Structure 1
């Protein structure tokens, strides 16, 4: 980035002011006009992206059209060499965040800020721009008393201007909308539709301003939480005004304004920032002039006697009649003012308020997964490790809050029989699993069939369907079969080639079985698979939007509609992300979004209109574990980074003076660096899309990582400080997990999409690409310190487990294989010891921890396996790396705490349709 004294055209850099996701800002001197200006420079790793540069220029030119006193002015945009920069108004003062930290803001001062920001938003929206990141940090209070909206780095800017700059009616939700599926902004100030990746319009900024004003007037965050998923859940679930509970000194009118800004339903909010500004001006006038309520502006006419925010149909009769009398008294004046064009009129909606979704935690042990409803909806079954063993538990929802374990093995995936008397589940047996059945009251389980991942009951309760995974000639397939509940009369249903499916669900009419793919990360459209039992015919139903994985399917009673939950972010399940509830119509072949959830989930179940699901929670901290002098000595632990963010995939620098790692501490997955010398944390990437899985060249001069900036994941590279970033690959097929050879000139990585799937080798300049292994899955490669060998994770043929394969980097010939058992590796990869003599990995099978084993080409070294580290402060390791001297490990200790949650109020879960039938 530019140093002090650098010249851009006739501007000279004087000092750095700050940095944001889309660039760094400097104070500069304009020698042509003899004034100070602020210059925002697009970082080189973004300036090299033509699409990002075009967007940066389009935003600058669009915002330059604004001449509103409450929006920071842009004077110029230019490109000099590789640097793109925008020249802006230089401001002196403090951000609203800094003002809040100094102490409470008086009511009149807060309303003055509110009016100014609302008016600034109205001018922005007139130009077809949505800010999308309004927060106290982006509102500036100048020393001259001006209030300015800043930082349009993630704003949605139209490709063409509105029809008329002066006609706000031309700015419709369509012209302001951003693309569904995009999640940008700062989580604490996002609207519900923004959290869920839905289309946005100006009303989303109104919600964000409501969250800011709630903080201004109460001193508290509107949506508190210690982790992004908790904040997202609060946005989708909570009413901030309810926390005031009548104890607030705020005027009731102001509380109503905040409630309307923060309404979860778009149609119940202020319909424009212009309307909001008008009402706020009236309230400010009443407070500053100490006028009576009846003599005030239309705010009082509309709402002065409402003491709580209620839809009018739900308000007591006396309140409704008083409200209507006031509306009649003020209607003439309001109409005259509106016809004169002097104001925009806001009137409370007369429509009934749609029902809100309600959420309830049904368990809270922090280890409860795979929930299932009983047929009567009065009980749930789930798997839990709460007592140190993975068992099946049952809880009855009515009466006493009692949870009972009914099995004793390593058990998962419970499913109630149609009569509610039995529960089928999968039990781990060696490296595989077997399908069992037990009474719902407990007792001795009975094995039904071996080598079954999981299953489900037929609607008559006589048979069980189940799945097996096979692997032939490098291709994974799913076998769908059924068997009598006593284990007899095995029948094949379908062979699903090239897919690793699970969570089979039999339709209520018995005609079809639905499945979804195994839970994996990636920016893909993952379908629901539907198999016709009688014929084995297979159909696929895809979501409309790209995103993360799909949960288990759940049929509605019509046997035509399938409910599944799609993670919004492709980073799931590696991070917790909001999710969409999708309804697939298998008759019409359509899909629609019917609700949003604060958590992604691998398992859901619908019964009697209520949605049961596994609510995930996670955080990850970095801990250095210095190994003991002798094997078996406990490691000495030192916390390197701790908080509510997810820090993972760490790597020591080759010099051992710091780390690079992936973190979502700013709300988005980026690459960060930690310096051991001063403890400084700094981002190396700051792109709105996903950057993760970093590694460094052996000399430490270059950084490599995976990013989906171009739609699919590709391998990217930059200098070690994150500058001059560029894409190294262009497979458009999910290229990830780079690792660098000892010479610094050879890159190895995986490709997970057809037809290029497998392990690849590439020169550091992007030339001479060659596939070493055409295998799927082939994940998380790691090159040996001497550059001769490459390890990677794959699944074992014909077995439900994982193995580490080692190949030669020259020709891909196999040199060794290490079986790591059921469950396999985490996303943290396996690692070579610095001397290249051993291989270590994170085990999630049986005894949890980091294990290490000798490596000798062609030799079986299983007898050298030992556990290097167990849990970290009670949390299992998620990913790790060796220090250059081999004396320490840096470990990302992932703390997962899933519970069972119920969501009620999704109307579409009770609406059914009849499947079309043929024949007599």
Structure 2
């Protein structure tokens, strides 16, 4: 990405001053004429600038100075927003310390007077407000003013939050807590008047290394005293860390930033795996993790209810860091930090050998992973330190102090990069939170220009153009993602491929050898990526190379790479699970669906880390919207259901299962030893794209567009499940004019006119699939069946019965039923494979229907209604669908993909003897005119579906409409 120059900075400022909407868009169009890249880039920056979250965190690359392009982009926004500070790339600069000071911008309040306060200097800013150094003219003292930004001053939520923060600070009147002087309003501006704390933060102090024991005890005793006062008021800080502790030049400690504080008597909130450990979002938002990774207690990391013991854990981490000069739970990424917090103890050998035993014992008690085993009250820590300080050790030594200014707790708004894969991958670490910036779990990540996320989309009219296979794979350490993408609005010649995006880089790069690839999944060591291309399972190094073909896979329904180098996958739409060595070899069948238990298919496997069990999803029919998650023991090849109404489960090292329930990510505690879930599942992230309700056998996979790393970092695409269609039944004349028939909208599918022209049979393909008959004279609709899933309703030639596909246990076969309801429905076919009724011969003796096989795809069969015998008619390695008899019974029209895409063909019936291709640019769903002289069919164009009419002489375009399922 090209770094912004001064001209782009001017454009950004000018655009930002214009109201959002048409005026701003018009300005960008004119200013960026002929430079589309600049236009897109400025629009992305402006979207980020308008983010409603006032506490987004900047990327670790800023503090390290590793990425000049990203640094310059943040600098551009910072200058335009008057946010001084970390844009200089200085490691460890604090948000509101000296590095943050700069000249006031155009809209600064510097020089103005707000009530009694003369505004002197802008010292910090964020998405919600700005902080100024000011002079109290009545009391002649320096104060800090926190003022809502102009766009927030009329926001009831922001005003309520400001008042809540004021009340919280007012309740915490203690010399070791930064004070509030008041909540005031002047000239329409609501603001807090805060104590101006001079000095350095503990984080800045620790840059010089560990603090001697005496100095540590002096500092940490004061921290404990401040926490004790807060806890006595029933308030837990939730974000205690060195950056939130200020040390005045006189050695007085002040605890800052109670912006995340809450009353610990409140109930806890459910975990949100998409929000990371440095999240500082709106404190009223449900389902969030609050705190900072290195100082977060295990219960905070898991999203459990927190009380004052979470602060005691953070206090223990600070005490350890002061004594050793090192963090107790180090890691380069949030993933590594979480794993350390949850599974490892601090390195006690890092403490000085002279550390008193009672201080070591205090540390041990503060960082017990179970809250019930932890020190119960911070007052006990204060007493321990006081008693230790009373032990004769010689004179206390002065410890070094650096006058690095002052800090008021106020979140800085950072740059949100580009467009999204759909939603989020990482959240960026806070400026100045520690010496080494730490990537967290959430931010926005863009696809390359002109791309969209692939995932086996089925274009209209064959599907809803919705990703149906998981299109992304996050590395186990959370440092990169592999995803499948394709050109926007692709032609039939545009193929998807895999891309590698490392989070310390701004651009994704294509992975050589993955042309045509989708459904990526990573090896346990993250060195290889598996994928599906050309109906084959392939592997290639993550950095690209010559791919290796392992076996044929007609359709991908989920892959997982085991720790022992075996790849587990679902072979087809109606299959169980199989596996093959990643080095190649013989295919091994692991499961077969148990139809006696209502199992239609096994798919979406996930290998547990121990390599002894596999999670997978059980589908009870081809369009199941209430699937189940099961666990299989590889030694016994037996499985049992773990979760009802659940799909696409993944294990998280924090001791949870994450799974999807109709587009919502749910989490539930999981015992990896007993292989059982405990407690009730809780919602974590809403609106994740999931392939349910897609109305198509090969697209209703239940797969979700998300991926989780070893300890909870997450990438996902938003979208939820496919919505129900809202179609209308219409008459269309030969000029293409449409007239509505039914006075309502529904997910109509495959309408058919009765032989007498008085009724219409149709299906509704929503969450529930049903067959219906609409009476044109009475304008009433009657449901054909009262239970199960019915679809593809067609008339018998005499109009006395309707024929339809029906299933209740998972496999759809063909039934018929009298229209007058004089007898119950009757089964016509019996097969273990999915079947779809197509068309009756004019004499009513033969039904042409489609049967789908996992290996060979869709074929056309004939049913003799007298003896119920079934014979194959078109049974090839290609897919044949939509059989339609001509009115005289001498021809059969159908659609086949033998050319590489679906086209319409006609051949003589009952004997073949040749065929004619009717369509030339794609076609499906043929329908004969009643006089048999013309054939109508659907013809796909880009983004639309059209109808064409065919006769022996010519093909004529008939009608075009917005694409929909047929």
Which has more radius of gyration?
2
Bigger strand fraction: 1
Bucket of the pairwise TM-score, normalised by the shorter protein? 0.3 to 0.5
